[in-house]
Chain A
């Protein structure tokens, strides 16, 4: 185990150094990334200049929801490595995945260390800012338990998004360009989770609670953090299932991935 940990940090450090070579364009990239996510937050504020609540949630509460899912999403983006549909689709097309297969290291380990996009700190900054604004405006009643639970929720959310990206990559073994479909669940997922789930139509709510339980990324935990009643009237322990549910989803995704890798036949070019 330990050599892997060491190797992980070594590889990631080298990826970071590589990106720092072009300092100006790196800075521009981070700024652009920060700004491009900023517009979503700006849009939220613009909407709240026209109303005081959205589906019964205040600006602070929506910002809290939004911050939670953004930070999770940013964590996932930062650590996903080559488990990115766009990146991986070109890997398959160019036969670069074959190189990974013949190296004497576990495949998923290599996938995680292939890329480390530091510019994605932009989204992280923006997510943290949204979260801070949410906390400042909604002032949830913090308890020791809540503080202790928060990192688990964030890690769980990141695991869930990672599961979606991994599944998208798995689809690349069979499909030429599944990117746009997967985007519905990654980018579409964060966009959807940015607002209270209850504003959507009933079948969508059910789908994201019971079938693809993305509600566990931020919605159910937020009910606990913000002391809001559960609109679905589920048992009171449900908000605490988040890390378990998200972990399970990641496990399933990794299983599917392993299945895909085993079935993979190269493009042959």
Chain B
């Protein structure tokens, strides 16, 4: 366990070292947040609410999604896939650590930094610029924290599955882009899932992706609270376990093949 904490700490330090990039990223996130907020404000016009979101909640939604997009890595991530291409995966696999946790620890470490240097400032700027909906009470805060952590882990589990396909395909980037596009859309990052027409909502709810964005956001906004929030968090946990199992199985199958190839 100490080893994995150390790996996470190192990844966090590395991420923190990119000061200029972190600042530039923050500005980009804020700019897009503003664009999305104005689009929704125009959409609302004079209407007080759409699909259960008040205008204030919708504006908060744009800020919150921008704040957690990096911690959850909703645009996707190809770092692991790249090591397959460069061959670095061989040395990573021979390290005396669990390969899955090796990546998970580093991912979590870097993403916690994203949460601090991007997530928190974005919400602070939003709070200064516009009325924002905050989680209600200690219960709301705790539920959000748990839900966000599960979202970050589930996102990793999904990204791991996508990246590990590179063990079978020489150039899996196309597949990966397709996978990440799907997850981004159905997570409710671009538009809240609740805005979708019913048939599209049904498709989204059959996937693990709302667990990545929609669930923590709705818990923050109080759209999900009490037993409904607990239920949603349990669903996230179930998806997390399923995706992790899938990743583990794929890893096991893939490395068996890799050993034969490399033998």
Contact = CB atoms under 8 A, between A and B. Distances in A.
Given A39-B185, A51-B45, A181-B27, A25 B170 contact: yes
A108 B174 CA distance: 30
B260 interface: no
B3 interface: no
A46 B196 contact: yes
A180 interface: yes
A191 interface: yes
B28 A180 contact: yes
B219 to A, nearest CB: 22
Contacts of A29: 173-174, 177
A25 B25 contact: no
Interface string A169-211: 0000001111111011000100110011001110010000000
B238 interface: no
B38 interface: yes
A42 B178 contact: no
Contact of A28 (B25, B44, B175, B185): B175
A241 to B, nearest CB: 25
Given A50-B51, A54-B43, A195-B42, A39 B28 contact: no
Contacts of A36: 177-178, 180-181
B91 interface: no
Contacts of B207: none
A156 B87 CA distance: 44
Interface string A34-47: 01100110110011
B134 interface: no
B244 interface: no
Contacts of B235: none
A180 B195 contact: no
Given A25-B171, A53-B45, A180-B25, A188 B32 contact: yes
A25 B165 CA distance: 13
B168 interface: no
Given A36-B177, A54-B43, A199 B38 contact: yes
A201 B38 contact: yes
Given A28-B175, A188-B31, A22 B41 contact: no
A31 B51 contact: no
A234 to B, nearest CB: 22
Given A43-B191, A199-B38, A50 B31 contact: no
B90 to A, nearest CB: 22
Interface residues of B, number: 41
Contact of B41 (A176, A178, A199): A199
B27 A184 contact: yes
Say what secondary structure dominates the interface of chain B: helix
B241 interface: no
A215 to B, nearest CB: 15
Given A53-B45, A183-B28, A199-B41, A32 B50 contact: no
B2 interface: no
Given A31-B178, A177-B21, A22 B170 contact: yes
Interface string B28-40: 1001101100110
B46 to A, nearest CB: 10
A201 B27 CA distance: 17
Nearest to B196: A46
A54 B39 CA distance: 8
Contacts of B170: 22, 25
A53 B175 CA distance: 36
Given A40-B190, A54-B43, A46 B174 contact: no
B43 A50 contact: yes
14 contacts: A25-B169, A25-B174, A27-B174, A32-B177, A35-B181, A35-B182, A39-B184, A40-B190, A47-B195, A49-B196, A50-B51, A54-B43, A191-B32, A191-B35
Interface of A: 22, 24-29, 31-33, 35-36, 39-40, 42-43, 46-47, 49-51, 53-55, 175-181, 183-184, 188, 191-192, 195-196, 199-201, 204
Given A50-B195, A180-B28, 6 more contacts: A33-B177, A35-B182, A46-B195, A46-B200, A54-B39, A180-B24
Q: Name the 10 nearest CB pairs between A and B, nearest first.
A: A28-B174, A25-B171, A32-B177, A180-B24, A199-B42, A55-B42, A29-B174, A36-B181, A32-B178, A43-B190
